[in-house]
Structure 1
């Protein structure tokens, strides 16, 4: 078995077929097909079911997909370890993060990592919810994940470190809430309109819980991209619930920001798989844990 065969196989899985994978890899499709056929012969199993011009992963292919990603990660780790002997810590680390975690702490981690290890490149992959972050790490699509989750994340060989408790804030259009100080109670949300995220996100779960408790909280707009919540708030469409990483940006943009009393918090986690890590991944983890301490 050759590395090239595994790279071709993973590319077909990731891109949804031979044609798109060949285009992404800049190889001829017949060469790609021959490599996969040879791999299937060596393994003695069929990795794809051919359905017309499309392909669907077989049960054996589903098992191999995660393993192939991990093998490629291990090979990258060996290569990076050899390079680091002469060049210091170098390489790339793929990080999965929800949008709030990508803003903070991931942005600060990258800045600090760049100061100490300029040879490390961080590539971030966006996830809608913590479950997606965890799946990306377990499947080997990313080496590290950062997300907010009420419970300690678990999975096959997964390591999880608590980083901090992320605090949720109320962000409202300029002019604020008459008579409010720096904090608000849930009862003060009654009668307000909100710009909310789609279901399955931590922020939406908070809104649904508050709405069920307080009552008379109206959804003015539901969005799939967290980055448009603040512009909608500033346009006066409604208030928004945001993680504390957005506080500075919201205030500089002119919105009014309030903390909840009592505070609304969610544990934030660093997750990665047990086993061989690249020097770049280890540097990211060490930097993250040092900041948390």
Structure 2
């Protein structure tokens, strides 16, 4: 089995077919088909069912897909480790992050990483939940993940580091609330209208819990893209619940920002697989943990 065969196989899975994969890899489709045919012969299984112009993973192909990604990740890590001897970290690290974690602490981590290791490029992938972040890391889709979760993320071969406790805030259009100071009790939310994200996000889970406890909290709008929550709040459609990473942006945009008493917090975690990692991934992990320890 050759590395090239695994790369071709993963490309077909991720691109959804032989034609798209050949185009993405810049290889002739017959060459791609021959390589996969050879791989199937060596393994003694059929990896794809050809249905018209489409390629559908067989049961054996589904079992191989995640393992192939992990093997390629490990090969990259070994190659990078050998190449990094005597040199600074360089290369690309793929990071899975929930939307709030993608803002903070990931933004600050990337800024510090650029200062410490200018040869490292960070590519982020969005996830709706901590469960999705963990799956992306364990499946080899990303090398490292950052997410918020009330429970410590777990999985076979997963390494988990607690980073900080993220605080959730109430954000409203200016002058909407008649309250002194910048602190409100949960009971103050009764009778208010809200712009919320769709289910599965940590912010939506907080809203649902508060609504069940406080009561009379109305959903004015439900959005799939968290970036539109603040514009809707500023237009007076409803208030919003946001992680503290949004606080500076919300205030600069003119929104009123309030903390809860008692505070609403959610632990944030850094996760990665056990075993060898690339120099770029190690730089990201070390930079993240150094920032945590100095906070």
Using the size of structure 2 for normalisation, the TM-score is 0.97
Runs of 4+ in 1 over 6 A off after TM superposition: none
Match of 1:255 in 2: 255
Give the drift of 1:179. Answer: 2.4
- Find the aligned partners of 2:217 and 2:195 in 1 and give their Cα distance: 11
8 Å Cα contact 1:193-1:219 kept in structure 2: yes
Match of 2:103 in 1: 103
**Pairs aligned (count):** 293
Q: Secondary structure at the match of 1:87?
A: coil
- Find the aligned partners of 2:169 and 2:189 in 1 and give their Cα distance: 12
- Find the aligned partners of 1:228 and 1:77 in 2 and give their Cα distance: 38
Q: Secondary structure at the match of 2:104?
A: helix
Match of 1:4 in 2: 4
Match of 2:19 in 1: 19
What does 1:17-166 correspond to in 2, within 5 Å? 17-166=17-166
- Find the aligned partners of 1:13 and 1:156 in 2 and give their Cα distance: 24
Give the drift of 1:132. Answer: 1.1
Match of 2:191 in 1: 191
Q: Deviations over 1:228-283 (max 9, x none)?
A: 10011111111000000000000000000000110011110000000111111111
Give the drift of 1:86. Answer: 4.2
Report the more deviating stretch, 47-56 or 270-279: 47-56
- Find the aligned partners of 1:237 and 1:180 in 2 and give their Cα distance: 22
- Find the aligned partners of 2:91 and 2:194 in 1 and give their Cα distance: 43
Once superposed, what is the RMSD of the aligned Cα atoms? 1.1
- Find the aligned partners of 1:237 and 1:176 in 2 and give their Cα distance: 11
- Find the aligned partners of 2:229 and 2:20 in 1 and give their Cα distance: 34
Report the more deviating stretch, 169-178 or 53-62: 53-62
- Find the aligned partners of 2:60 and 2:244 in 1 and give their Cα distance: 44
- Find the aligned partners of 1:104 and 1:112 in 2 and give their Cα distance: 13
Structure 2 residues not aligned, in runs of 5+: none
- Find the aligned partners of 1:116 and 1:157 in 2 and give their Cα distance: 28
Q: Deviations over 1:170-213 (max 9, x none)?
A: 00001141123211111110111100000011100110111111
Match of 1:282 in 2: 282
